[in-house]
Amino acid sequence: MGGLLQSQKVGSAVKAALEKNASRYTWVAAAVGSQNAAGYQLATERPVMPIGGFNGSDPSPTLAQFKAYVAHGRIHYLLASGQGGGGAGPGGGTSSAITSWVEKNYTEVTVGGTTLYDLTQPKNG
């Protein structure tokens, strides 16, 4: 049987990475869309921020809010969705803007075949 509304299946290596030092963060990760975030949150029993609401198209959080959360060390990882983030709707560009900003500024790591961006490790240069 599938997961909650086709939520992500989380491998043990990714789960371990998200759980490592989890108490330091408000959110162990952020992911585009609630469905994407749900599987990770259920697997780790830790908060995972859904960027863009249910399907990634809501303007929440804004790029400025997300940058502030990262600057204050409140989010450990961004989970790469491979979907490009957010479609139609008033906030569809917000999740794409957040994803693009993270990809340009933070270190990409692959854990158990899943791409994560470590928001505690800015790229050099």
Domain hosting 85: range is 4-122
C-alpha separations of 108 from 1, 4, 7, 99 in Å: 32, 27, 22, 12
Report the domain count for the chain.
1
pTM value is 0.84
For 66-77, what is each residue's pLDDT tens digit? 999 999 999 999
- Quote the tokens at residue 89: 């709707």
For 21-45, what is each residue's pLDDT tens digit? 999 999 999 999 988 899 999 999 9
CA distance 52 to 61: 7
